[in-house]
Amino acid sequence: MGEDRGYGPQALSLNETLLLSTATRREVGTRLCESSDEEEPPAPREGRAEPGRAGEEEDGEEASDPSEGSDVEGEWESESSTPEDGREPEGSEPAAEERREEEVGCSPRINANLVKSPPHSATKYIPPQVRKAQETLDDKKREELGRLKKMVNGLINRLSEPNLPSISGQMEELYMSNSRKDMNETLTETLLNACVTAVAMPARLVMEHVLLVSILHHNVGIEVGAHFLEAVVKKFDEFCRSDDEGKECENLLALIAHLYNFHVVHSLLIFDILRKLVGIFTEKEIELILFLLKNVGFSLRKDDALALKELITEAQRKANSAEKKFQDQTRVRFMLETMLALRNNDMRKIPGYDPEPVEKLRKLQRTLVRSSGSGKDTELRVSLESLLSADRVGRWWIVGSSWSGAPMINDTQKKTQEKVHVGKVSSKILELARKQRMNTDIRRSIFCVLMTSEDFLDAFEKLLKLGLKDQQEREIIHVVLHCCLQEKTYNPFYAFLANKFCECERRFQVTFQFSIWDKIRDLENLSAAAVSNLVSLLAHLIRTKSLPLSVLKVIEFSELDKPKVRFLRQVLSTLLIKTDAEELTDIFVRLSDNPKLGLLREGLKLFLNHFLLKNAQAQKSAEEVSLLKERVELATKALQAKESKLKL
């Protein structure tokens, strides 16, 4: 046998080969084969082949004796602590592995040791067809994203005030034809690359870019503005913590300021940022405070003058305590003068302040926003802390956003208390909720609050604390009305609760009006108890002026059927008898003010005099009929009070 030059398998121990990476193993195996070919002569084929030269023989002769393979295999297995006789049965795994190695031309023993991986590094096997399909999909997705990025980048590069309508329209089309997630990420990345640089960006350019986000925020959905805002705030926080001397912080702060100017975010976030900057109070933070107040100071004063006053007081206290900290006090004094000018509403003392560009772009925004929510009702009322911890606690400000992070409540005691509470509810109330077809989590929560509250004030506070938004909030009214109609006898709890909601916000009043209209249109399908409860509820809401009498305009007096006649007679009788004369006059006079309600006025006068009085004379006592006649005359006069003036 020839001299072993260190290239055989004995040169590498099994532990060392197992530690090599797959790429390194292949490289070593190939090098071993090549160097064996170059340096060692072919060994004579006597008996068993030398382990380090098996690959050379196979390279030299294509048709080798199969017995050689079995010999080599047996030797490899013996080194690897296989059975004592050193033989493997035919068709075994090492034999198949050896045949594959022979095709490559390397020593089967070396390659077996090099390629074989440790048991703990085994991964799931993916069939070639599936792997190829996944790679094809990934390539296709990457290509689509690249094409989308080019299109968005081209639109952003051409963005200016004159072509803003066309570019916003094209952006909306892209949102309709692509995934919103991909569009949000692409748009945010492109805008940040365009606006966040180490040099100060022109104010006009930043405003135009933010205006585009605002238009998409109102027309496409609030998740557009929410995604952009979160990225900007996180980047701003990152640059504030760093010691960079560039203008990135100012550019990011300008983006946040104009998001507030164009009604994407509420003033709550701006005040949070200002408080944070005042809390740190270094030269860098003072510059940022001045920059922010110059852009949005007077808007903040209009939105929340009290919060601005508290901020100014805190800044003055910080400035007094940090007098020795700054060698140059001019910037601090200038900041305090600017704050005092804001408090006194004196625009002249703020150098370079010009509200005209923002006002001009706001007018353009009003023309481009289609939805009725172009005002402040689509603003994101989110705090700085919520945005910075969004990955950890979720994004509650986006309706329907998913979250798979760690649980927000870590206290085990609180968890057990909550579980006990849910258990008590589930045994009784939740079964009742199921019977009442409360088929969503929101409706079930509202139902449980209604059933477990001490009184209507307790229910009102708990329902507001649920923190529902927009469409979810309307479910409160729907569930309250549903529960009221399902009671066997009328329960005034729901009427007082409804009255409280109508006094709280006009949107609740509107929702109640539409819900009651739906019930009036569906009177023939309601039970007698439900109709009676609806009559009492509606009479209470009209009597307390939570709803106007014009809620009855949904009834067509020319096409009255029996259920509607009976319903209207009960509502008006209850209203006329149980209401004081002065209040009754106020209720009916409100109808005479509006010329658009002429048909309703005529219909009510006709119904009061012909349907209501004639039926009352047949069914009620003389005293009730007398009182009813008196009230009908009073109501008729109130309806005609301003009609004569209108005619004149």
Using one digit for the tens of pLDDT, what is the confidence trace for 23-32?
Answer: 444 444 444 4
pLDDT at 205: 92
Bigger pLDDT: 163 vs 438: 163
At 497-511, the pLDDT tens digits run: 999 888 888 888 899
Q: Which two tokens stand for residue 385?
A: 């802390």
**569 — pLDDT class (breaks 50, 70, 90):** confident
Q: How far apart, in Å, are the Cα atoms of 108 and each of 55, 85, 95, 435? A: 7, 20, 9, 73
Helical residues (DSSP H) of 394-505, grouped into ranges: 412-435, 441-452, 456-465, 471-486, 492-504
Report the range of poorest mean pLDDT among 140-154, 193-207, 559-573.
Answer: 559-573
The SS3 of residue 270 is helix
Q: Which of 196, 192, 187, 252 is nearest to 221 (CA)?
A: 187
First vs last Cα of the chain: how many Å apart? 130
d(CA 611, CA 492): 28
Beta carbons within 8 Å of 371's beta carbon, 6+ residues apart: 218, 219, 378
pLDDT at 31: 45
Bigger pLDDT: 337 vs 404: 337
Q: What is the mean pLDDT of residues 614-627?
A: 71
Beta carbons within 8 Å of 337's beta carbon, 6+ residues apart: 349
Does residue 153 register a pLDDT over 90?
A: yes
pLDDT at 256: 94
pLDDT at 151: 94
**245 — pLDDT class (breaks 50, 70, 90):** confident
At 440-457, the pLDDT tens digits run: 888 888 988 888 888 888
pLDDT at 403: 58
pLDDT at 213: 94
At 280-311, the pLDDT tens digits run: 888 888 888 888 888 888 888 888 888 888 88
Does residue 120 register a pLDDT over 50?
A: no
pLDDT at 345: 76
Q: What is the mean pLDDT of residues 232-248?
A: 87
pLDDT at 618: 61
Q: What is the mean pLDDT of residues 397-425?
A: 48
Report the range of poorest mean pLDDT among 100-109, 220-229, 430-439.
Answer: 100-109
Does residue 566 register a pLDDT over 80?
A: yes
Q: Which two tokens stand for residue 625?
A: 């009929």
Q: Which of 36, 77, 47, 365 is nearest to 217 (CA)?
A: 365
The SS3 of residue 265 is strand
Q: Is the pTM of this model over 0.85?
A: no
Q: What is the mean pLDDT of residues 205-224?
A: 92
At 253-285, the pLDDT tens digits run: 999 999 999 989 999 999 999 999 888 888 888
At 303-350, the pLDDT tens digits run: 888 888 888 888 888 888 776 666 567 777 788 888 888 877 777 777
pLDDT at 616: 67
Do 460 and 509 form a contact (C-beta atoms < 8 A)?
A: no
Q: What is the mean pLDDT of the chain?
A: 75
At 175-199, the pLDDT tens digits run: 999 888 899 999 999 999 999 998 9
The SS3 of residue 616 is helix
Sign of dihedral through CA atoms 345, 346, 350, 353?
Answer: positive
pLDDT at 236: 92
pLDDT at 421: 37
pLDDT at 604: 84
Tracing tokens 């969503």 back to the chain, one arrives at 440
d(CA 567, CA 565): 5
**150 — pLDDT class (breaks 50, 70, 90):** very high
What percent of the chain has pLDDT above 90?
A: 20
d(CA 588, CA 581): 11
pLDDT at 240: 87
pLDDT at 110: 38
Report the range of poorest mean pLDDT among 90-104, 158-172, 231-245.
Answer: 90-104
pLDDT at 207: 93
pLDDT at 613: 74
CB count in 10 Å sphere of residue 147: 11
pLDDT at 624: 75
At 40-87, the pLDDT tens digits run: 444 444 444 444 443 444 444 444 443 444 343 333 433 334 444 444
Name residue 56's amino acid: E
d(CA 486, CA 365): 47
Bigger pLDDT: 70 vs 476: 476
